[in-house]
Amino acid sequence: MPILSIVLWLPIVAAVALAFFPRAADSAIKAFGLFASVVTFIMSLFIVTGFRTGAAGFQLVEMKAWIPQWGINYALGIDGISLWLVMLTTLLTPVVLLSSWNAIHKHPKEYVISFLIMEAAMIGVFVATDLILFYVFFELTLIPMYLVIGVWGGANRVYAAIKFFLFTIAGSLLMLFGIIYIGFQYQHATGVLSFAITDLYRVGVTPYAQTLLFFAFSLAFAIKVPLFPLHTWLPDAHVEAPTGGSIILAGVMLKMGTYGFLRLVLPYFPEASIRWSGLLIALSVIGIVYGALVAWVQPDMKKLVAYSSVSHLGFCVLGIFAMNQASIEGSILQMINHGLSTGALFLLVGVIYERRHTRLLADYGGIARTMPLYATLFIISVLSSVGLPGLNGFVGEFLILAGSFQTEPIAAVIAATGVILAAIYLLWLVQKVFFGPVTNEENRDIKPIAWNEVAAMVPLIILMVWIGVYPKTFLAPMGPSVRRLINIVKTEGNAPVLVADESAGEVARAPLGGAK
């Protein structure tokens, strides 16, 4: 059973089918979209059951010639790095469609179609094992998101949509150049043109070219993440995007950047990655502190959460470039964690925005009394986001920081201040919105959180607890793939960066293979 293709094409088939729905059939459209995304999620569970934990390479692979004369294939596969990102995508899409059930009145049909196409494109990014196919999906995600922001967004939506589009496309065009260059280098070396991701792992390029390519790819992914100082498109995009757009943007799309670093940048340019890891680590640590501080002074809840994403994604990039087993596994887990907790926060901000049409902290206060269930869900999501042990965020952050500490102690210590700062800006938000007396009369009888919004939150909260209490379910499949990735970088790159500090002693070095 070509399960990856099924999961990839199901949303597209559903989107095509939706095109034939009559425009007026509002709830039928929404119900069908939700149904299709739930079926996609259920089908994606077969990816998990079919996945062999313990294997490092791509699994469930599929391969069809696409443009044979250029060596481009329709090639899919999944490994420990991409597995949970696919699952996150198939989970968050129904969450979005369910939570925005009553929120979208304008062009519901196009809205649902956009999200289904976006889902397919994001899945495509994570399962493509051909670079051109990867690139096509990578760019394809932009169009529905551009539309979602531009059509269903807030007052300033056109500006935000264009800013989003230009920022991200600027980076990725350079990457396209790089992709084609690598393909031709492969042809140069072997006589065959191929864009298979793993074939190209073996391409050697001159150090100079490697540096240039490293920066071309890194720029594309750094904008996507976004890494300081390329982050300024994100708050604008989030503030203008409708709730569903923000959930997907923060939940999944940003991870296409961190995924790109892991899937392409590290293995393709190991020497450059090691040489320039200091720069990337510095930028991510700056981003962690910067994002947190700026989040703290935001008057707008959504902007606050958006800047918190800059901070959280900084942890992911730090973990990637610290380049050891724990830090990278932590980073992948943190990508999922961020999708859950920030997805939940955006969802919940959307819930009161829907009711009060304001996102300013100053307009709220004392909501805990008027919306107790809502407040409880919000506070659980906040606790997940600040990394309270027992919930998901802690495990990811701890692995990233403790792992990074072994190779990059100073960066890890500075990054660890992020756990203080996260408490500052998120508890500030909680205090201003939920606690204190009800000062604004309009907040006295807000409609309570609706069934569909609660239902959308339930799977997120279950996963927050699951990952916090028993993270092995999620870490175990990653191990071998991450180990293989580190081996690729280590054998091709300059080894010493990958081993623990000299003075760390035997104990610390041994698990890294005792390499020297």
Partner 1 sequence: MLNTLWLIPIVPFAGFLLNGFFGKRAGKSFVTAVALAGSLGAALLGTWAVIEYNAHYHHGERHLNVVYNWFTSGNIGADIAFQLDPLSIIMLMVVTWVGFLIHLYSVGYMSHEEGYWRYFAYLNLFMAMMLILILGSSYLFMFVGWEGVGLCSYLLIGFYYDKDFAAAAGKKAFIVNRIGDFGFLVAMFLMFAYLGSVDFMKVQQAAMAGGVDSAIITAICLLLFLGATGKSAQIPLYVWLPDAMAGPTPVSALIHAATMVTAGVYMVARSNVLYRLSPIAMMVVALIGAATALFAATIGLRQNDIKKVLAYSTVSQLGFMFMGVGVGAFAAGVFHLVTHAFFKACLFLGSGSVIHAMSGEQDIRRMGGLWKKIPITAWTFLIATIAIAGFPPFAGFFSKDEILASAWSTHFFPGVGKLVYVLGTIAAFFTAFYMFRLFYLTFFGKFRGTHEQEHHVHESPATMTVPLIILAFLSIVGGFIGLPHVIGHNWLAEWMHPLIPDVEGHGPLHIAGVVEWTVMIVSALVALAGFLLARSLYRGRELAADESFERRSPAVARTLENKYYVDEFYGAAVVRPLAASSRFLWKVIDAIIDGIAAMLGFIVRGFGDLLRFFQTGNVRNYALMFFLGVVVFLFLLV
Nearer Cβ to partner 1, position 10 or 415? 415
Shortest distance, position 91 Cβ to partner 1, whole Å? 21
Choose among 354, 139, 166: nearest CA to 246.
Answer: 354
Sequence-ordered list of residues with C-beta below 8 angstroms from that of 147, at least 6 positions apart, any chain: 110, 114, 161
Query: How near is the Cβ of 324 to partner 1 at its closest, in Å?
Result: 6
Nearer to partner 1, 42 or 67 (CB): 67
Label the pairing between strands 59-67 and 72-78: antiparallel
In the complex, what is the shortest distance from the CB of residue 35 to partner 1, in angstroms, rounded to a whole number?
A: 30
Sign of dihedral through CA atoms 418, 421, 423, 428?
Answer: negative
Please report how close the Cβ of residue 315 comes to partner 1 at its closest, in angstroms: 13
In the bound state with partner 1, the residue whose beta carbon lies nearer, of 24 and 507, is: 507
| Cα separation, 498 vs 186, whole angstroms | 27
- C-beta neighbour count of 432 within 10 angstroms: 19
| Shortest distance (Å) from residue 463 CB to partner 1 | 16
515 burial (CB, 10 Å; 0-12 / 13-18 / 19+) is: middle
C-beta of 27 vs 206, nearer to partner 1: 206
Report the residue number, 209 or 388, with the smaller CB distance to partner 1.
Answer: 388
Smallest separation (angstroms) from partner 1 to the CB of 470: 8
Is residue 250 a contact partner of residue 342, using CB atoms and an 8 Å limit? yes
Shortest reach from residue 272's CB to partner 1, in Å: 21
Q: What type of residue is 52?
A: R
- The CB-of-420 to partner 1 minimum distance in angstroms stands at 5
For residue 338, which of 88, 91, 164 has the smallest C-alpha distance?
88
- Under 8 Å between Cβ of 486 and 498: yes
Q: Are 225 and 313 in contact (CB under 8 A)?
A: yes
Q: Least CB distance from residue 390 to partner 1, whole Å?
A: 6
Largest CA distance in the chain: 74
Helices 83-99, 325-356: axis angle to 10 degrees equals 10
Amino acid at 410: I
In 323-391, which residue ranges form alpha helices assigned H by DSSP? 325-356, 367-370, 372-385
Instruction: Compute the chain's Rg from CA coordinates.
Output: 22
| Block residue for tokens 């829907």 | 354
Residue 122 has which token pair?
């994001």
d(CA 200, CA 485): 14
CB nearer to partner 1: pick between 199 and 247: 199
Report the residue number, 94 or 403, with the smaller CB distance to partner 1: 403
What distance in Å separates the CA atoms of residue 172 and residue 420, rounded to the nearest whole number?
Answer: 35
Residue 176: how many other CB atoms lie within 10 Å: 16
Residue 465 Cβ vs partner 1, minimum distance, rounded to whole Å: 12
Nearer of residues 102 and 431 to partner 1, judged by Cβ? 431
Query: Alpha-carbon distance 248 to 334, whole Å?
Result: 16
Of the candidates 326, 321, 513, 286, the one whose C-alpha atom is nearest the C-alpha of residue 421 is: 286
Nearer to partner 1, 431 or 494 (CB): 431
Find the shortest distance in angstroms from Cβ 502 to partner 1.
12
C-alpha to C-alpha distance for 164 and 150, rounded to whole angstroms: 10
Indicate the residue among 305 and 401 with the shorter CB distance to partner 1: 401
Q: Which is nearer to partner 1, 120 or 179 (CB)?
A: 179
Which residue's CB is nearer to partner 1, number 30 or number 312?
A: 312
Nearest distance, CB of residue 431 and partner 1, angstroms: 5
Sign of torsion over alpha carbons 103, 297, 340, 83 = positive
